[in-house]
């Protein structure tokens, strides 16, 4: 598990990677910042991942910034969970469209 990667949520939609880089550098060396954008609209999804250089710096950043305001919004900052811990999304390509005549309802004969 990567103890240096932070989840940063409740971001203003105007927050850029450079804003987070500057803000989190108060806690230590920032290795990378990934602001998540919607692939269809290109707009920020309101969260990012910030990677600090050591677990100690990551812990310090959580202590310094969780529930503290950035650009008028209280941030959610915590150690990011590994990707494999999340359940798979449902409703992919299967189950879309197709024949809906037998959708669980039965006609009386």
User: 36: domain range?
Assistant: 5-78
Whether residue 91 is contained in a domain is answered as no
In a domain, 95, yes or no: no
- Does the residue 71 lie in any domain? yes
pLDDT beyond 90 at 87: no
What's the pLDDT score for residue 109? 53
Mean confidence (pLDDT) of the chain: 85
Please give the sequence-ordered ranges of beta strands (E in DSSP) within 1-109, or none if there are none.
5-9, 30-37, 44-52, 69-70, 73-74, 76-79
Asked if the model's pLDDT at residue 23 lies above 80, the reply is: yes
pLDDT attached to residue 2: 75
Would you say residue 25 lies in a domain?
yes
CATH code at 63? 3.30.70.330
Mean pLDDT is lowest, of 12-16, 88-92, 95-99, for 95-99
Residue 52 has pLDDT above 50, yes or no: yes
The pTM for the full model equals 0.74
Q: Does some domain include residue 15?
A: yes
Q: Is residue 87 part of a domain?
A: no
Structural domains in the chain (count): 1
Q: Does residue 72 surpass a pLDDT of 90?
A: yes
d(CA 79, CA 59) in angstroms, rounded, equals 8
Question: Is residue 97, in this structure, part of any structural domain at all?
Answer: no
Average pLDDT over residues 34-56: 96
> Per the domain annotation, does 24 fall within a domain?
yes
Cβ–Cβ < 8 Å for 70, 11: yes
């Amino acid at each position: 598990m990567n103890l240096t990667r932070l989840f940063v949520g409740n971001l203003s939609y105007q927050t850029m990677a450079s804003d987070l880089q500057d803000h989190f550098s108060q806690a230590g060396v920032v290795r990378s910042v990934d602001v998540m954008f919607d692939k269809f609209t290109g707009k920020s999804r309101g969260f990012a991942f910030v990677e600090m250089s050591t677990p100690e710096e990551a812990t310090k950043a959580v202590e310094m910034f969780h529930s503290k305001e950035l650009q008028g919004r209280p941030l959610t900052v915590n150690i990011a969970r590994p990707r494999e811990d999340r359940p798979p999304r449902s409703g992919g390509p299967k189950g879309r469209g197709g024949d809906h005549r037998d959708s669980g309802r039965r006609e009386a004969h």
